[in-house]
Structure 1
């Protein structure tokens, strides 16, 4: 780890004017610094900022402070009751010790777990733009089958972000200039294209303040994570589903996927195909066809395509079993 300057911010205003990398739980950033994947010259500790509460909003939703830990969020009674898919996703991620430290804002900003990104002796366009992508043609079992490019096939590792994508979360931020923004999570992440080092739409110095969830819609919540072992493993495929049925047909459907792309993946056309339909294996199979129409394996990760198909069909069957 290289030397760096450490400062603890006393307020949001001070944090955004200090000019450095923000750190809260540090469960990802510190690892990257130890391996010298990231080498910030200045670290701004934001753990003392008043961003650690979960509050009800006027429209019946929830506002989650960026410093709320994953453990606290997963255990919150309102989350467990009204946003069960989020609680389940959080409990499926990492270990209890890490959830006790990891922050909500930091979870959204996790960087990929691609082995070539972490190995500084290997070329990686995400780590060093223009150097190449060793995963293409290399060992790419955990890599993307959707939304990838010739410059990067990495996947986003967060479970929480997948559930929040299905819940139509909105990210509230404050920029270095003091201006605030509300960014729908569906617009928050960038696909790799030819700039895989640009992962979100955040500007330099922009700080996540809160994540807002809309008023709960009810429905049946499912979070399914398929992984190599039962704990402390990233998703090969994950599905977050919120499904409502009425009179034997699907009236509302919200689906998001992890382990498949550079960001939590959501395809509105899949949801549109389901809405108004009668739950059946044929309908679910057609939805899977739509999801995976543009899927492309890289050899070692070809298995993800049939795995994603089976997982989606199984999740939809579970979510509509009472219809």
Structure 2
């Protein structure tokens, strides 16, 4: 490990200043992702700024029902919050399906959505990787692709985003409060992450020195929600495919509905085409299948040394149908 300087500022503004004036400086929250990258040699910062004492660690509710979550809140505390369990079960389920209890006790709300891909080539510094070293190539193409993207990939990168929490937040219309060198701004959660395009090294729209300080959840407009994750092991494994759904029923038809996939793209994938098919229709298995097919029509699975990832298309279809079946049946029983 190369030497670096370390500081623990007391305020978000101090933290931003400490990172902004050093191009290789990084923020340290729970450290569940960054520490691995330091050990692997993926990042070599000259300065590490500990923000655990600078970012808010409270969950508060404001007058209009919005839940404001400080970036320093631990994942385990958020998953156990009564308001989250009652109003946003999709978020609680997503949080509890991620990592292990020990890691959830360390991981933070501000850091979790910013974690980087677990692509094996990104983590292996002996292999070419455009995300780690722009212009070097993508070793996944023609390599091991079982865990890679079927939507939104580019010739330069086929990595997937690993966060379960981020998939749930994408169906909750979350808002991200960011403080940077140029001041404060609000980023809709759906616009926080980006597809690889010609710059796979950029995971989000955040600029260097910008720090997430809060994530806000508006009062839920849907009555029921759920998160389902399909993985190779029952725990401590990243999603092959995951699905977040929030839905309301009206007179036997689907009203408001939000759908997002995880494990299929460089970012949490909001399934707008599937939502369009579902909205206003009577729920049944044919409808659920049609919604999935509409969303996955442009999926481009990859061949690979391990058999490729074409299996993700039927897997995503079945998983979405299972969640919708459960939620719409439960609404019908009310």
**Structure 2 counterpart of 1:278:** 282
- What CA deviation, in whole Å up to 9, does each residue of 1:115-149 have, x standing for no partner? 00000000000000000000000011000000100
Q: Does 1:296 align with 2:300?
A: yes
Q: How does the TM-score come out when normalised to structure 1?
A: 0.98
What's the secondary structure of 1:72's corresponding residue? Answer: helix
**Structure 2 counterpart of 1:170:** 175
Q: Does 1:62 align with 2:46?
A: no
What's the secondary structure of 1:239's corresponding residue? Answer: strand
- What CA deviation, in whole Å up to 9, does each residue of 1:154-192 have, x standing for no partner? 000000000000111110011123x11100011111100
Q: How does the TM-score come out when normalised to structure 2?
A: 0.95
**Structure 2 counterpart of 1:196:** 200
Contact 1:82–1:218 (Cα < 8 Å) also in 2: no
Aligned length: 322
Q: Does 1:10 align with 2:15?
A: no
Contact 2:221–2:256 (Cα < 8 Å) also in 1: no
> Which stretches in structure 2 are left out of the alignment for 5+ residues?
20-24
**Structure 2 counterpart of 1:90:** 95
Q: Aligned to 1:318, which of 308, 311, 326?
A: 326
Task: Within 5 Å, give how 1:114-133 maps onto structure 2.
Answer: 114-133=119-138
Offset, 1:50: 4.6
Contact 1:28–1:111 (Cα < 8 Å) also in 2: yes
Whole-angstrom distance in 1 between the partners of 2:301 and 2:273: 21
What's the secondary structure of 2:200's corresponding residue? Answer: coil
Offset, 1:256: 0.9
Whole-angstrom distance in 2 between the partners of 1:310 and 1:103: 31
> Which stretches in structure 1 are left out of the alignment for 5+ residues?
none
- What CA deviation, in whole Å up to 9, does each residue of 1:276-306 have, x standing for no partner? 1000111111101111010011121111111
Q: Does 1:206 align with 2:221?
A: no
Task: Pick closer, same or farther for the CA change 1:35–1:50 going to 2, 3 Å.
Answer: closer
Offset, 1:247: 0.9
Q: Aligned to 1:157, which of 159, 162, 183?
A: 162
Contact 2:222–2:256 (Cα < 8 Å) also in 1: no
Offset, 1:273: 1.3
**Structure 1 counterpart of 2:22:** none
Deviates more, 1:267-276 or 1:145-154: 267-276
Q: Which runs of 4+ in 1 moved over 6 A?
A: none
Contact 1:5–1:43 (Cα < 8 Å) also in 2: yes
Q: Aligned to 1:40, which of 45, 66, 74?
A: 45
Whole-angstrom distance in 1 between the partners of 2:33 and 2:55: 22
